[in-house]
Structure 1
């Protein structure tokens, strides 16, 4: 399913009106009726309900006038509240109809708002601000939104909760907390990303009669099973381990031995044929937590951290690897930078860089230049803080515009960027997929190491870096969601996600 920005939605509306000839009043009528339909579906009867419809001056308010008209036909207790009756021309068509039908219309003021606190509404329709909101909300608008949030009513937001920025999902001072949001054509970025998603309640997407043919060049999608290529999950009976790829992983230190174990375990469990782990000798005490199938190449270390001199002794193995993972649990260290420079200068293997590999990327000009010119496939897997370091911006800037941040990283390094978060974003700098699966049980140290291992495994099995990243993110989060059928969020561990990959892959294959 596509995800739209406000400008894309406005352009779709423009084309529908000017190029196809569908009048704006028809689209507004259809939108309002869709909201009414949803309200009617949710409540067995409306004739005994007290309903308030709050309408702004723009076209979102016009949608609200249409909702109010339909509600007034089935409910005697509908009140419409306006901030101003100087509304848009299209909205005025429907406001005038309400006046002729003698629907109870009120102009909001501080005094009226105070009197409303003594009333109780069962249903409130929020049609104050739509997807075009760009400035922070204050004054009477803010007080009305605070009233709605404290009303105890079941709240329907038209298109998007008033106060949520549709392009960034940021809150513009305050926002309506909707029970349900009814939006049109496709969801908007503000419905999908946080914190906006918190305010939307259940999001319903309705068709308002805009032809699909005019919806073009949309580059952002919600990641679904239909977007995944699982053809390589099917295996021929005469295949062997070499057919499923050789993964090389440079990971771990005496401080973070678990990172190496989790990454390599995940790679094996998700299907690669062979997994080689280059890790400091000190990590070998972690043997009991490691699958015996992992081929360990113990690297000489400096105080428990991989050394450059020890690492280069294993250069001959790099001819065997179909993909290389770098960074999990290596620590911030000059030796780590030297090793990554050596890899980028001397080999051309698809590479997945995570964790301390990203920290090196953020701090080393040499690594940045080498990675940008590296010819083979690249996947970078930052969380928000790592992305901020790579981009040399504040982490708040990444949180405000995560899609832009991910696209910028992908474009600068000509890589696939997997920006990890509650809504993980996968992009090649052009196309964007937003993952909506997963749960807070994944918010534990080691989850990122598991994801890196799955991405490596998918590339080893023959998927492109982009396809591998999409598949891995989906499998990773779906495994965590399946775990909720038996476990609580508090008790889910990254190692559980690895163990759950068996049932996850089965479910994906079965559809």
Structure 2
């Protein structure tokens, strides 16, 4: 399913009216009816329900006027609140209809807001701002939103909760917290990214009669099973381990030995043919807890951290590999920098860079240049803090616009970027996929190491970097969601996600 920016939706609306000839009032009528339809479905008999409809000056308010008209036929008590008589041309049509019907229409001011706190509504319809909001909400608008949120009514937002930026999901000063949001044609980015996704409540996507032919140049999609290339997950009887790739994982230290174990375990569990773990001798004691299928390659270390000289002694192994995974638990050190720079200079093997490998990129301009010039498949898997370090910006800036940050990283290094978060974003600099699976049980140290292992295994099995990233993110999150069927979020561990990959693969393969 596509995910739209506000500008894309505006262009679609424009084409529907100018090229197809569908009048704007028809689209507004359809949108309003869709919202009414949801209210009717949820509440059934509305006769005794007290309903308030808040309408802004733009077309979102016009949708609200349409909703109010339908509700007037159902309820004995509908109040319509407006901020200004000077509404958009199409909205004016429906405002005049309400006036002709004798609807109770009140203009909002301080006194009206004060009086509202003494009324109780069963249902509130939020049609204040639509998808075009760019400025911060203030004045009477902010006070009205604060009232709506303080009410005990069931709140329906039209298209997106008022106060949410539809391109980022960020709150613009104040925002409605809806129980249900009805959006049209396709979700908007602000419906999907947090905190907008949370404030939407239950998101409903409705068709308002815009032909599919007017939709073009949309590059963002929700990551669903239909977007996955599952072909290589099917195995033929006459295959052997060499058909499924050899992964070399350079990871771990005496300080973070578990990172390498999680990454390697996830890799073998995800179907690679052979998994080599390059790790310091001091971290090997933890490998009693690993799968015996993992081939360990001990690297000479100093104070429990890999050394460049120790790595050089083992680098012949790299020539046999199909994929390199680099960074989990290595620590932030000059030796680690030297190793990554050496790999980028001397090899052309598909590479997944995570954790301390990302720290190298943040600290070393030479590494950045080499990665940009690296010709093999390359995937970066930063969380918000790692992304902020690489781009030399504050982490709050990443949180405000993760979509743009993921695109920046992908274009900067000509790679696939997996920007990890509550809504993980995958992009190759052109195509964008937003993952909506997963749950807060994954918010534990080690979850990222597991993802790196799964991504590496997908690459090893012959997937392109973008397809590998999509599959890995989906399987990783799906495994965690399946765990919720028998565990609580508090008790889900990254190692549980690995063990549960059996069920995730089965569901993906069987559809």
In structure 2, the residue matched to 1:57 is 57
Shift of 1:287: 2.4
Question: 2: distance between equivalents of 1:13 and 1:236?
Answer: 48
Displacement of 1:427 in angstroms is 0.1
What is the TM-score with the length of structure 1 in the denominator? 0.99
Distance 2:366 2:289 in 1: 36
1:296-311 correspondence runs (5 A): 296-311=296-311
Whole-angstrom distance in 1 between the partners of 2:473 and 2:187: 21
**Equivalence for 1:207:** 207
Once residues 374 and 487 of structure 1 are traced to their aligned partners in structure 2, the CA distance between those partners, rounded to angstroms, is: 42
- Name 1:290's counterpart in structure 2: 290
How far 1:476 sits from its partner (Å)?
0.2
CA distance in 2, matches of 1:119, 1:369: 63
Matched, 1:246 2:246: yes
CA–CA distance in structure 1, aligned partners of residues 334 and 311 of structure 2 = 13
Q: Normalising to structure 2: TM-score of the pair?
A: 0.99
Aligned Cα RMSD in Å? 0.6
Q: Is 1:260 matched up with 2:260? A: yes
Residue aligning to 1:498 = 498
Question: Residues 292-371 of structure 1: matches in 2 within 5 Å?
Answer: 292-371=292-371
Which residue in 2 is equivalent to 1:394? 394
Partner of 1:26: 26
Distance in 1 separating the partners of 2:440 and 2:55 = 36
2:75 aligns with 75
Deviation at 1:340? 0.5
The count of residues paired between Structure 1 and Structure 2 equals: 511
1:233 Cα deviation after fit: 1.2
Separation of aligned partners in 2, 1:58 and 1:237: 62
Name the CA distance, whole Å, in 2 between partners of 1:88 and 1:234: 55
Aligned pairs for 1:463-502 (under 5 A) are 463-502=463-502
Matches within 5 A, 1:72-471: 72-471=72-471
Return the offset for 1:481: 0.3
Give the deviation of 1:503 after TM superposition. 1.1
SS at match of 1:74: coil
Counterpart CA distance in 1 for 2:389 and 2:155 is 40
| Counterpart-to-counterpart distance in 2, 1:90 and 1:207 | 19
Name the CA distance, whole Å, in 2 between partners of 1:366 and 1:431.
28
Cα drift, residue 378 of structure 1: 0.2
Q: Once the two structures are superposed, what CA deviation does each residue of 1:310-353 show, in whole Å capped at 9, x if it has no partner? A: 10111211121000000000000000000011101111100000
1:269-307 superposed Cα distances (whole Å, 9 cap, x missing partner): 010010000000111111221111100000000110000
String of CA shifts for 1:239-261, please: whole Å, max 9, x gaps: 11111110001000000000000
Q: What is the CA deviation profile of residues 196-247 of structure 1, one whole-angstrom value per residue up to 9, with x for unaligned ones?
A: 1111000101111100001001000000000001111111112111111100
Task: Name structure 2 gaps, 5 residues minimum.
Answer: none
Query: Secondary structure of 2:73's match?
Result: helix
